[in-house]
Amino acid sequence: MAASTVICFGEVLWDLLPSGKVAGGAPMNVAFHLNQLGVATGMISRVGTDALGKELLAFLQEKNIPTDLIQPDPQHPTGTVHVSLDAAGHPAYEIVKPVAWDFIEAEAAAETAVQAAEMLVYGSLVCRLSQSEMSLKKLIALARYRVLDVNLRQPYVAESLIRELLLTADLVKMNDEELSIITSWLNIGGEMPQRMASMVLRFDLQGLIVTLGAEGAAYADPAGFYETPGLAVQVQDTIGSGDAFLAGFLQQKRLGASPQHCLERACQLGAFVATQKGGTPVHPA
């Protein structure tokens, strides 16, 4: 199989919404959108050998996400998340544990794929149990360019882990609430541009993205600060909007676009996903 340009590592699962189940997991959503944008992206994860696992593999194959790096787990069930939505379409999550993606192994094929790829994309949630955490850290050490998508989901919020992941990342994405939590841990004050600049300096980052929901997004790197306003849309739900945003940003970054253009394209894609049900809608032609 041809090498993937980007490898995503982490959870693949079913979001169990009031209206039915939808395939999800932040890194899987990023892989889905990158593949739609023409960036060959592989997925390292683990699913149960149960009916939900078979259905999830079929979904990934249908969406042209390679499944050769997704490991079968005969002992643990396929991941599920119980999702409730508030009146504005914002989700709350009950993430079932333990499940197959808690036990991802750093297999030889995964190591080879990460070494060959331009980027490794991963989140913090996958580190909630030690097996997947150890595997991720092994793969991070092999990656050329490391993209951390901070995903603080209670009760899986470990300050020491987040600090460690920040220290090994090249590019980091988080939302404004996560920025507030992390900068409070670090006693970093000031307005958002100053706090972001301090984070870039503290962790020697090549770039830091902060999403602001309907208000848009901001980006800081050693050269400066950039921001773009949000787009007014009719929100269906915000599941996967941040993942689509990250995919749009990475696609443009690979093409050599300016930080400002990367932000604008990312916001367009994130806004589109917010108008759709679930995190994996097909992009408009």
Specify if 279 maps to a domain. Answer: no
- pLDDT for the residue numbered 237: 66
Specify if 284 maps to a domain. Answer: no
Specify if 281 maps to a domain. Answer: no
Specify if 225 maps to a domain. Answer: yes
- pLDDT for the residue numbered 89: 74
pLDDT digits (tens, 9 = 90+) for 146-160: 999 999 987 878 899
- pLDDT for the residue numbered 145: 98
Specify if 174 maps to a domain. Answer: yes
- pLDDT for the residue numbered 2: 61
- Whichever domain contains 86, its CATH number is 3.40.1190.20
Q: What whole-number distance in Å separates Cα of residue 71 and Cα of residue 88?
A: 36
**Neighbour count for residue 141 (Cβ, 10 Å):** 12
* Owning domain of residue 236: 6-274
DSSP reduced 3-state for 94: strand
- Sequence-ordered list of residues with C-beta below 8 angstroms from that of 195, at least 6 positions apart, any chain: 179, 183, 188, 189
Amino acid (one-letter) located at 8:
C
List per-block mean pLDDT (blocks of 10 residues) for the chain, which spans 285 residues: 86 90 92 95 98 97 94 98 83 90 98 98 96 98 98 86 97 97 97 98 98 92 94 74 94 96 94 77 73
- pLDDT for the residue numbered 278: 65
- pLDDT for the residue numbered 87: 82
Domain count for the chain: 1
pLDDT digits (tens, 9 = 90+) for 130-142: 999 999 999 999 9
pTM: 0.94
- pLDDT for the residue numbered 67: 97
- pLDDT for the residue numbered 213: 85
- pLDDT for the residue numbered 90: 79
Please report, to the nearest 10 degrees, the dihedral formed by the alpha carbons of residues 231, 232, 233, 238 taken in order: 60
In DSSP notation, 3-35 reads PPSEEEES--EEEEETTEEEEE-HHHHHHHHHH
Burial, 153: exposed, middle or buried (Cβ in 10 Å; 0-12, 13-18, 19+)?
middle
Specify if 161 maps to a domain. Answer: yes
* Nearest to 108, CA basis, from 73, 135, 77: 135
Specify if 143 maps to a domain. Answer: yes
CA atoms within 13 A of residue 228's CA, in its CB half-sphere = 22
- Sequence-ordered list of residues with C-beta below 8 angstroms from that of 133, at least 6 positions apart, any chain: 126, 127, 161
Specify if 38 maps to a domain. Answer: yes
- pLDDT for the residue numbered 72: 98
CA distances (Å), 187 to each of 36, 162, 179, 183, 195, in order? 40, 15, 12, 6, 10
